[in-house]
Structure 1
Amino acid sequence: MALSKEWYDAEFVDSESESLHRAPSIEYSFYNAVKTGDMEYVIKNCKEDAFIHLDGTGVLSRNTLQNIKYHFVVTTAMITRYCIDGGLEPEQAYRLSDFYILKMDSCSTVRQVADLHHEMAKDFTGKMVLQKKSSILSKPVTQCVDYIYSNIKERITIADLAAYTGLSESYLSRVFKQNLGVSISDYIREKKIEKATHLLKYSDKPIIDIANYLSFSSQSHFTQIFESFMGLTPKKYRDRYYKSMW
Structure 2
Amino acid sequence: MNYRDEWLLFEADDDIDEMEHRQTSEEFLFYRSVAHGDVDAVRRNCEMGRFVESNGVGVLSKDPVMNLKYHFVITTAMVTRMCRQNGMELEHAFRVSDFYIQKLDYISTAQGVKKLHDEMVIDYTEKMRRYYQKNIQSKYINDCKEYIYSHIKERITIESLAEEFDVSASYFSRLFKKETGISVSEYIRDQKMEIAKNLLQFSNYSMIEIANRLSFSSQSHFIQLFREKVGVTPKKYRDEHYMVQWDQ
TM-score w.r.t. the length of structure 1 is: 0.55
Question: Counterparts in 2 of 1:140-179, with a 5 A limit?
Answer: 141-179=141-179
Which residue pairs with 2:55 in the alignment?
Answer: none
1:226-246 CA distances to partner (integer Å, 9 max, x unpaired)? 122222211111111114369
2:104 aligned partner: 57
Task: Please list, as runs of the form range in 1=range in 2, the aligned pairs for 1:225-244 lying within 5 A after superposition.
Answer: 225-244=225-244
Which of 15, 40, 54 pairs up with 2:90? Answer: 40
Post-superposition CA distance 1:173-206 (Å, at most 9, x none): 0000111111000000001011111111111111
Contact 1:211 1:222 in 2 (8 A): yes
- Residues 141-178 of structure 1 deviation map (CA, whole Å, 9 limit, x = unaligned): 22211110111000000010000000000000000011
Is 2:179 aligned against 1:137?
no
User: Equivalent residue of 1:244, what SS?
Assistant: coil
Q: Unaligned stretches of 5+ in structure 1?
A: 1-26, 89-127
Runs of 5+ unmatched residues, structure 2: 1-75
Q: Which has the higher contact order (CA 8 A, sep 6+)?
A: 2
Q: Over residues 80-115 of structure 1, what are the superposed CA-to-partner deviations in whole Å (9 max), with x where a residue is unaligned?
A: 34533x572xxxxxxxxxxxxxxxxxxxxxxxxxxx
Q: Sequence identity of aligned pairs in percent?
A: 40
**1:178, 1:206 → 2: CA distance?**
37
Change over 3 Å in CA distance of 1:239–1:167 after alignment to 2: same
Q: Helix, strand or coil for the counterpart of 2:135? A: helix
User: For the structure 1 residues 174 and 230, does the alpha-carbon distance in structure 2 shift closer, same or farther, using more than 3 Å as the test?
Assistant: same
Q: CA RMSD in A?
A: 3.7
- Name the aligned partner's letter for residue 231 of structure 1: G
The equivalences for 1:1-246 within 5 A come to: 38-42=88-92, 45=94, 57-58=104-105, 74-75=116-117, 77-84=119-126, 86=127, 88=129, 129-134=131-136, 136-139=137-140, 141-244=141-244
Q: Assess if the C-alpha contact under 8 Å between 1:143 and 1:165 holds in 2.
A: no
> 2:14 aligns to what?
none
The alpha carbon displacement at 1:72 in A equals 9.6
Q: Find runs of 4+ consecutive structure 1 residues off by over 6 angstroms.
A: 70-73
- Give the 3-state SS of the residue equivalent to 2:239 in structure 1: helix
Query: Structure 2: how far apart are the matches of 1:56 and 1:144?
Result: 39
